[in-house]
């Protein structure tokens, strides 16, 4: 059963047509500023990849990709991407990006097993980005500096949109983003669930980077799932902001320094899927054929929803929703596209 929050007294300030114009303003500005902040070049990206390539993002390992065959290719089984986390690292090599340079792309995905609600959709659209770094730069300093650069682009976008739309508070985002690890959150709020901890810290700090996601905490639990073969669980995290419309912690970006040879093998073993090391992508990484990198995804619809103060992600993207959700939203004045 889907989950749905209906804020009391909610009414979108913008009509659906005005919303479309505003979406373009948000996307165009943020995309340009992000490219400047991180020194990124836009590239084209695939909608689907080979099922046996090991390139697709396996998310938590249980989500089913949408798959199909291609008639002109022998054994041409393909699947719609969940994200481009691994493909981008291959692209850095293919396009010849040097250390300090990177790429970004428009990533469209289908996550058929997503639990839909106000902020989750079966259709996923992100700016997927990846940047070549030296092995010596695989550290928290690099991670934190990159987070600050992305946060700077968010703050710039907020000011830009606030100039055109009076309902957007100009300095709602704080000057600086707070850094906190998942273990620190567990230590602070041991009786809360991971999601409750995120809500608590987001309400307090307004913008946080929650670090070290994927590995086990002292309690033996994990804060949230992470695939074992792209982010290094010791050098990753989520950019989370407080969202007043829904009174929740609102994740805008998942990112991290990518696995090297040692962390890949370690994390595959922890997740019980060491056989993946024989897939083409994993072999290339273990053979030292791929650049070291940092990368992530930034939700396009999430960014638009946040800056345009929408109550449902379906107000800024076209997708499919349960019939009951559509009816409830309409009664509550939420116009799904």
Task: Provide the residue ranges of all domains of the chain, joining segments of one domain with +.
Answer: 16-331
Q: Residue 140, SS3? A: helix
In the predicted model, is pLDDT for residue 295 greater than 90? yes
Task: Please compute the mean of the pLDDT values over residues 162-175 and round it to a whole number.
Answer: 93
Q: Residue 1, SS3? A: coil
Task: Please compute the mean of the pLDDT values over residues 85-106 and round it to a whole number.
Answer: 94
Q: How many other C-beta atoms can be found within 10 angstroms of the C-beta atom of residue 37?
A: 17
Q: How many other C-beta atoms can be found within 10 angstroms of the C-beta atom of residue 134?
A: 11
Q: What is the dihedral of CA 304, 306, 309, 311, to 10 degrees?
A: 90
The pairing of strands 207-211 and 178-181 is parallel
Q: Sorting pLDDT into bands at 50, 70 and 90, what band is 237?
A: very high
Q: Sorting pLDDT into bands at 50, 70 and 90, what band is 82?
A: confident
Q: How many other C-beta atoms can be found within 10 angstroms of the C-beta atom of residue 35?
A: 18
For residues 275 and 229, the answer to whether their CB atoms sit within 8 Å is: no
Per the document, the length of the chain is 337
More confident position, 217 or 65:
217
For residues 245 and 213, the answer to whether their CB atoms sit within 8 Å is: no
Task: Please compute the mean of the pLDDT values over residues 6-23 and round it to a whole number.
Answer: 93
- Measured in degrees and rounded to the nearest 5, phi and psi for residue 58 equal -90, 5
For residues 105 and 44, the answer to whether their CB atoms sit within 8 Å is: yes
For residues 294 and 139, the answer to whether their CB atoms sit within 8 Å is: no
Task: Please compute the mean of the pLDDT values over residues 256-262 and round it to a whole number.
Answer: 97
For residues 4 and 248, the answer to whether their CB atoms sit within 8 Å is: no
Task: Please compute the mean of the pLDDT values over residues 53-60 and round it to a whole number.
Answer: 76
**What beta strand segments (E) does 226-285 contain?**
231-243, 248-258
| CATH code for the part of the protein at 16-331 | 3.30.930.10
For residues 241 and 306, the answer to whether their CB atoms sit within 8 Å is: yes
Q: How many other C-beta atoms can be found within 10 angstroms of the C-beta atom of residue 193?
A: 11
In the predicted model, is pLDDT for residue 3 greater than 90? no
Bridge partners of 100, per DSSP, are none
- Specify the pLDDT at position 56: 80
C-alpha angle with apex 108: 67 to 146, nearest 5 degrees?
Answer: 125
- Specify the pLDDT at position 52: 81
For residue 236, what are its two tokens? 């990753």
- Specify the pLDDT at position 303: 97
Look up residue 216 and give its DSSP letter. B
User: How many percent of the chain have pLDDT more than 70?
Assistant: 99
| Active site amino acids | 57, 111, 126, 238, 251, 254
136 Cβ contact partners less than 8 Å away, ≥ 6 residues apart: none
Q: Sorting pLDDT into bands at 50, 70 and 90, what band is 29?
A: very high
For residue 212, what are its two tokens? 């070290």
Q: Sorting pLDDT into bands at 50, 70 and 90, what band is 74?
A: confident
Q: For residue 184, which of 173, 167, 169, 198 has the smallest C-alpha distance?
A: 198
For CA atoms 253, 254, 256, 259, the dihedral sign is negative
Rg, Å, the chain Cα set: 20
């Amino acid at each position: 059963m889907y989950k749905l929050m209906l804020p009391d007294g909610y009414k979108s300030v913008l009509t659906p047509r005005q919303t479309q114009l505003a979406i373009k303003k948000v996307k165009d500005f943020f995309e340009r500023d992000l490219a400047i902040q991180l020194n990124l070049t836009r590239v084209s990206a695939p909608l689907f990849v080979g099922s046996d390539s090991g390139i697709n993002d396996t998310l938590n390992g249980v989500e089913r990709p949408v798959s199909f065959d291609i008639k002109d290719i022998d054994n041409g089984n393909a699947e719609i991407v969940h994200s481009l986390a691994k493909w981008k690292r291959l692209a850095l090599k293919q396009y010849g990006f040097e250390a300090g340079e990177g790429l970004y792309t428009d990533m469209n995905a289908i996550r058929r097993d997503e639990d839909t609600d106000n902020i989750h959709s079966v259709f996923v659209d992100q700016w997927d980005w990846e940047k070549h770094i030296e092995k010596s730069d695989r550290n928290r300093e690099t991670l934190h500096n990159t987070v600050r650069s992305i946060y700077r682009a968010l703050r710039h976008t907020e000011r830009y949109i606030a100039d055109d739309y009076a309902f957007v508070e100009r300095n709602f985002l704080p000057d600086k983003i707070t850094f906190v690890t998942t273990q620190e959150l567990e230590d602070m709020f041991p009786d809360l669930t991971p999601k409750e901890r995120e809500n608590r810290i987001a309400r307090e700090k307004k913008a946080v980077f929650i670090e070290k996601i994927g590995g086990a905490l002292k309690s033996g639990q994990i804060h949230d799932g992470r695939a074992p073969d792209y982010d290094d669980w010791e050098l990753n995290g989520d950019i989370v902001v407080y969202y007043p419309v829904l009174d929740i912690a609102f994740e805008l970006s998942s990112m991290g320094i990518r696995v090297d040879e040692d962390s890949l093998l370690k994390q595959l073993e922890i997740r019980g899927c060491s056989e993946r090391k024989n897939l083409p992508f994993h072999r290339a990484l273990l053979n030292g054929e791929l650049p070291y990198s940092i990368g992530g995804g930034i939700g396009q619809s999430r960014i638009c929803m946040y800056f345009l103060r929408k109550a449902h992600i379906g107000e800024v993207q076209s997708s499919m929703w349960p019939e009951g959700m559509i009816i409830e939203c309409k009664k509550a004045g939420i116009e799904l596209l």
